Each structure stands twice: as structure tokens, then as C-alpha cells.
A and B are shown apart, each in its own frame.
Chain A
Amino acid sequence: MIKKVLIANRGEIAVRIIRACREMGIGTVAICSEADKDALHAQLADETICVGPAPAKDSYLRMDRILSAAYATGADAIHPGFGFLSENSKFADLCQKCNITFIGPSGEVIDKMGNKSEARKTMMEALVPVVPGTKEAVYSAKDGKVIADKMGYPVMIKASAGGGGKGMRIVTSEEEFVHHFETAQQEAKNAFGDDTMYIEKYIAKARHIEFQILADNYGNIIHLGERDCSLQRRHQKMIEESPSAAIDDNLRKEMGETAVKAAKAANYCNAGTIEFLLDENNHFYFIEMNTRIQVEHGVTELVTGIDLIKEQINIANGVKLSYKQEDIKIQGHAIECRINAENPYKNFAPSPGLVTGFHMPGGKGVRIDTALYTGYKIPATYDSLIAKVMVHDTSREDAIAKMRGVLGELVIEGIDSNIDFQYQLINNNDFKEGNIDTGFIERLLKK
């Protein structure tokens, strides 16, 4: 049984994992960079090891130092959180070689699903519907253009090793193809060191619907319903909700079963997410699988009542899944608004700095995951997510009303944040009516 977990992450997710471990009586080791010595996760854990200077590549991404920290503190498991090393198959393999339980799937599975064009191929072979596009990877603009011309525009160029919107371009006409392919490919090479690309048909006015998966070491795989993450800006999610307003029970059942089929095809283990695009005609297509716990996992926890981090630890302990598919019930409606330290009126420029005042709302069905506290200095080196504000109520309408109240009461002083912007989004009529798609925010910003 796992006795001590090293959390190879920072910020609110590190706090979340430490909290789960505290509840389970498991010891916790935090790692921090020099800039994070006063961070909440570093203070909350039983032990903390500083692993290097502020830049992630010198600290949170240093596999050798993280393993040394685990060895020195006697940690027998590592939870990678999301981002950083969570989808690094080499790190997962290394943990295994060092007799440390990696709380997640194996390096082999991470590799298979992490290469997006490989993942598409696996899904196609498993008869999971994918966005119409290439089966094999594309290496040159010339080859790509032949495929794109045949497919018909608009098309989406994507990086096989990609994520976070990098190495992605929408091409609306034939003349632009070569230029967009070459810039996307260069971007992919710079960001991921891998310039293999793939091409998909671009689906306008699509909704991003993802299904939460839990799989144990014995081949039992279930889904915990969907999250609608259509509200995005530059491919970064801003608001997530469960269940999706666009899906009826039949479609939910079909998509859920397909998600489980996809996870089975990937030989998946532990927590993961299958992402689909849903078009205007209610056709859904696999786009990718995320082989880690996600930022928005809390939304699923609220509607299902299941603690996903604890389940991850249980699965890593070799415990059989205690739920069958029929046990999973979606109750009520949950919404999450991501709060970032940024200024929406200055093109979302990051706004690190000292938090001089912080008031956290509360009450029934209110959950806020954050690492903020009054007097905390937000470092400039990391991503700008500072709080996840979640609400849970009996209906979507009530959840929106609750979120309005919560966002109205939330106070973060000393830095700029997107609280007001989120407040506007929540009050938007189209949002209230559920008329949203992945282009929604961009269109709103143009006005």
C-alpha cells in the first residue's frame, strides 16, 4: 500500500492532491522551486524539498532531482498532477525502474496516446469515430496540401506531439495552406522538438465534449459522464460544465460507451479523459485522449460524488474499481469558472504579484480549489491559473445563478484577474441558453 506520495507539481492541483492524501492518512512530500518556497502546497505537505530555481525546466521538469527527492524522503509513489511531467512517458518509465509507483498509466500507454496522429490511428482501428483526416503522420507541406485539397477546406493542421493550442492552424483556403503548414510545423518543432503533423477537417461551430474515464489494473473501465468545455479562448478552456446542455440521454449513452471503447483500445489504466468534438448535426468525433487528471476534474466530482484523486491512488494501489457503470449517477449541474491572474482588457496579459486581499465565498454547493492566500506573491514564471471556482446545484439555471452570486462575492486584491470577464460570460444570454461552441469567446471579444 502506498504510504507516502511525492507530488511532482505545484499550485492548486498540488494542494488538491495533498488534501486527498491527508484524508487517506498518506504522508506527503512537496517539491518546490526557489520561487515557490512560500507557496501553499510547499507549506501544507509534511515535507518539502526545493528542487531548483524558478524556471520549470530547472525544477519541476528535473526528473533526476524529483527522483532524488523521492529517494531521500522515502516516498513510494509520485503523483504528477497535470502539465509538467504528467504525460512524459520517460518519467513514468523511470519511476517504474526506481521502484516508485507512478500514479497514472504506464509510459507505454502515455506514449501511444501522447502522439496524436498515432492515437488517431489506434482509434480508427478500434472503429471509434475520428474527425475525418489523415491516418498516417504528415511530414511536408507538399504532401499535406495534396491531402487537404482532396479533403476540402477548411482544414485544421495539428502537431502530433502537440497540446495547448501550439502547432495548430486553421486553413480556410488552398492558397494559405503551405504557409500555415510551415509555420505550424516550425512552432511544433520549437515547442515539442517534434515536427510531425496531421490534418483534420475543420468543424466550425463545434462543441468540445470530454468524458472522464476511470480504469483499474484489471481491465475494468467506466466513464463518469461528460464535461462540456466549449468555452475556450485560444484553445485554453475558460468555463467547463457537467452535464452538457447539448446532449440528451441517448447521445450521452452512445458517447460514453464509445469513450470506454476508446480507453479499452488504448489499454488504459488509472484516470484519463477522452475528448470529442460534437458538430451541429450531433455527430461526434474523437480528437484526443488526455492520459492524466485534468484541471476541470472537480466538475465531475461534484455531479458524481466521486473523489477522483482518491480513486487514482486506489487504482495505483492495485485496488479493483469499486463502481460499475450502472452505479454512476449524474446529479444536478456543476459549472467551473477558471480564474486567471491576467488582464482581459490588456489582451489577457499575465498579472503576477502580491495578493493583498483575498475573500473566498462559500455555502452549499460552492467549491473553490486554489493555492491563494492573503499575502501570497504570485510568481511570474508559471501559468496564470490561480483559482477554480465551482458551483453545484439542481439545475443549470440554478447553477448559473449560484455562480453569479459567487463571482460577485469573490475578491482578489493586488493583482488583475478575469473575475469580471467570467461574470460577463455567465450573464451572457447565449451562454444561459446553452448556445455555445468553441468559437464563442473569440466572437464575443471581437465585438
Chain B
Amino acid sequence: MLKDMFKKTSSQSKKMLNSAQIPDGLFQKCVKCNEILYAEDVVSNYYICPNCGSYFRISPRERLSMVLDKGSFIEWNEELPISDPLNFPGYKQKLKHVKTVTNLDEAVITGEGIINGTNVAIGVMSSDFLMGSMGEVVGEKITRLIEGATEKKLPLIIFCCSGGARMQEGIVSLMQMAKTSQALKKHDGEGLLYVAVLTDPTTGGVMASFAMLGDVILAEPGALIGFAGPRVIEQTIGQKLPEGFQRAEFLLEHGFIDKIVKRSKLKQTLSILIKS
């Protein structure tokens, strides 16, 4: 090997201080294909993996900026008081921690905005906040969103994303399913449009209530949509589930949703729906 015959000319040590400092968040990893991705590439690609095309979950504010006209969002019902009906151990501390980490007051942001010139009432759920679970505050915010839309005669769009009902609030969480559904009935009674957009994952009590009550139900590609989770189902029925079970494409094939819309086309699609 020539390598062993060459003489070194520098006395630099293997590692020195003060050299490269790679800032955090410059790169991220895709959980599906394990590729290391340049974060800016992901952002400019609508938070979709440039390598395998899998959709990353996005925060409510990111979603709102993609869908609404710039600067048009007015938030409603920020900072409703915490609900802890069962005095569940550790729940208040957990809430406090999650609020700090996510910079959200709860698992949904609601308000009104404009899409290509048309006013809408809009809500976006967050999987970062206790997995988007619905408790009293989420239920209240959504109900007030629907009631506000009814009063102002606005079309309604809700981006759904949830692991289900918030178990720390017990039966009160389950009650939100009924509360939100009846508010939607009144909105519908006024002849107003409600578009539900199902994002990954939309499950449990949310899926079994307002998520599946849209006049038009859209979904993002590859989103997991179901009531019980796949593992629970497999264990219960003792059978292996078919390929792609509970994914948006499967649901479309079986008539549960109206259309799968690519993230880049969502604003355009919603705009057409609310104008008609």
C-alpha cells in the first residue's frame, strides 16, 4: 500500500476545538425510509420526504400557513381554562409540560381565515399535543368553532388528527363526541358546508364523531384512519389484517372517504369546494 509509504507533512491532531459546529435541526431523519434529509428541503417540499414521498405530520400553524391566505387567520377561543374533572393524577403537570413544549394551549387551534378570497371557519388539530386527544377543552373549542361558523354563516373546514378521546378526562371526553356532532347538525341545518380533512392519524372518538360527518370528506395520502388501532384489532379478531388496512387509500376504495388530496393541491381543492 502506497499509503504506508507516504510521509505526513502536517502535525494537526485528529480533532481540534473551534471547528465545525453543526446546528441542531439542520438535518432530520425520515421515519419511513430512514434517509437523512436536509430540513430546508423537507419544508420546501410541503413537509413531505423528498426521498420516499411519505407525509410528515405538521403543526397547526404550519398547516394554516399552507392553506389560508397570508395574514388572514384570526384565532378564536385561545386559552380556555383547563378541565380536570377526575382530578387525574399527574394530568395538570403533564398539560403544563406539553403546553410549554408545543407552544400550543390545547390539541386544536380554531378560528377564521380566508382561502383565495373566501371566508372560512377553520380548525386544525395537533398530534404533538397529547396525540391530538380530545378532552373537554378540545371538544369545547370545536363546538364553539362550529357554532361560530353557523352564526356567521361560514363554511367550515376541520383538519382532523387524533389518537382518540383523552382518557384522563374519562366520560367527559366521550361526551365531546355528542356535543360536537349536535353542533354540526345545526350547522348543516343552515345549509352550510362542512369539509373534513383527515390527516395522519385520525382515530378513536374523533373519527367516530365529527371527522366522519363532513359533507365532503378528504384525506391526505397514506393517512391512518380508523376507530380502534390495528394492533388491537389484530389481537381481538386473531387474524392478520390485509395490506394497507386503515390507510386512506383503503378507505377510498371502500367508500368511506370522498377523495385523497395531495398536500400541494389542498388549498386549491378547498378553495373550489367552498366557492361552489
Contact pick for B2, options A21, A43, A46, CB 8 Å: A43
What mask results when residues 221 to 247 of chain B are scored 1 for a CB within 8 Å of chain A, else 0?
A: 000000000000000000000000000
Could you tell me which residues of chain B, from 93 to 109, have a CB within 8 Å of some CB in chain A? none
What mask results when residues 1 to 24 of chain B are scored 1 for a CB within 8 Å of chain A, else 0?
A: 111001011101111111111110
Query: Chain A residues with Cβ under 8 A from B26's Cβ?
Result: 94, 97-98
Could you tell me which residues of chain A, from 89 to 103, have a CB within 8 Å of some CB in chain B? 90, 94, 97-100
In contact, A76 and B20 (Cβ under 8 angstroms): yes
| B-contacting 9-mer, from A65-73, A201-209, A279-287 | A65-73
In contact, B20 and A75 (Cβ under 8 angstroms): yes
In contact, B16 and A67 (Cβ under 8 angstroms): no
Which of B6, B12, B17 has the most chain A CB atoms closer than 10 A to its own CB? B12
B36 within 8 A of A: yes
A397 within 8 A of B: no
A74 within 8 A of B: yes
Query: Chain B residues with Cβ under 8 A from A423's Cβ?
Result: none
Contact pick for B14, options A22, A26, A47, CB 8 Å: A47
A63 within 8 A of B: yes
B38 within 8 A of A: yes
B256 within 8 A of A: no
In contact, B20 and A28 (Cβ under 8 angstroms): no
Q: How far is the CB of B57 from chain A (nearest CB, A)?
A: 22
What mask results when residues 79 to 110 of chain A are scored 1 for a CB within 8 Å of chain B, else 0?
A: 00000000000100010011110000000000
Q: How far is the CB of B13 from chain A (nearest CB, A)?
A: 8
Please report whether the interface of chain A is mostly helix, strand, loop or mixed according to DSSP: helix
Name 15 extra pairs, CB < 8 A, besides A4-B19, A26-B12, A67-B20: A3-B12, A4-B16, A44-B2, A44-B3, A46-B12, A47-B14, A63-B38, A64-B27, A64-B38, A68-B22, A71-B22, A74-B14, A75-B20, A76-B16, A99-B20
A40 within 8 A of B: yes
In contact, A46 and B38 (Cβ under 8 angstroms): no
Query: Chain B residues with Cβ under 8 A from A153's Cβ?
Result: none
Query: Chain B residues with Cβ under 8 A from A44's Cβ?
Result: 2-3, 6
Complex Cα distance, B6 from A44, in Å, reads: 7
Complex Cα distance, B38 from A64, in Å, reads: 8
Query: Chain B residues with Cβ under 8 A from A75's Cβ?
Result: 19-20
In contact, B8 and A46 (Cβ under 8 angstroms): yes
A379 within 8 A of B: no
A–B Cβ pairs within 8 angstroms, 5 of them:
A44-B6, A71-B19, A76-B20, A94-B38, A99-B21
Who on chain B is nearest to A100 by CB?
A: B20
Query: Chain A residues with Cβ under 8 A from B18's Cβ?
Result: 76
A25 within 8 A of B: yes
In contact, A71 and B2 (Cβ under 8 angstroms): no
Complex Cα distance, B21 from A100, in Å, reads: 8
In contact, B23 and A28 (Cβ under 8 angstroms): no
A373 within 8 A of B: yes
Complex Cα distance, B38 from A67, in Å, reads: 12
Interface size on A, residues (CB 8 A): 35
Query: Chain B residues with Cβ under 8 A from A353's Cβ?
Result: none
A27 within 8 A of B: yes
Complex Cα distance, B15 from A47, in Å, reads: 11
In contact, A40 and B20 (Cβ under 8 angstroms): no
In contact, B3 and A43 (Cβ under 8 angstroms): yes
Who on chain B is nearest to A42 by CB?
A: B3
Complex Cα distance, B1 from A38, in Å, reads: 8
Which of B2, B18, B40 has the most chain A CB atoms closer than 10 A to its own CB? B2
Query: Chain A residues with Cβ under 8 A from B16's Cβ?
Result: 3-4, 74, 76
Which of A42, A43, A90 has the most chain B CB atoms closer than 10 A to its own CB? A43
In contact, B23 and A98 (Cβ under 8 angstroms): yes
In contact, A67 and B22 (Cβ under 8 angstroms): yes
Query: Chain B residues with Cβ under 8 A from A40's Cβ?
Result: 2
In contact, B10 and A28 (Cβ under 8 angstroms): yes
In contact, B10 and A74 (Cβ under 8 angstroms): no
Known: A4-B12, A46-B8, A64-B27. A74 touches B2 (CB 8 A): no
In contact, A25 and B23 (Cβ under 8 angstroms): no
Could you tell me which residues of chain A, from 19 to 75, have a CB within 8 Å of some CB in chain B? 21-23, 25-28, 38, 40, 42-44, 46-47, 63-65, 67-68, 70-75
Q: Which 6 pairs show the lowest CB-CB distances between chains A and B?
A: A27-B12, A43-B3, A74-B15, A71-B20, A76-B19, A22-B9
Who on chain A is nearest to B29 by CB?
A: A64
Query: Chain A residues with Cβ under 8 A from B40's Cβ?
Result: 90
Who on chain A is nearest to B23 by CB?
A: A97
Complex Cα distance, B26 from A25, in Å, reads: 32
Complex Cα distance, B13 from A228, in Å, reads: 43
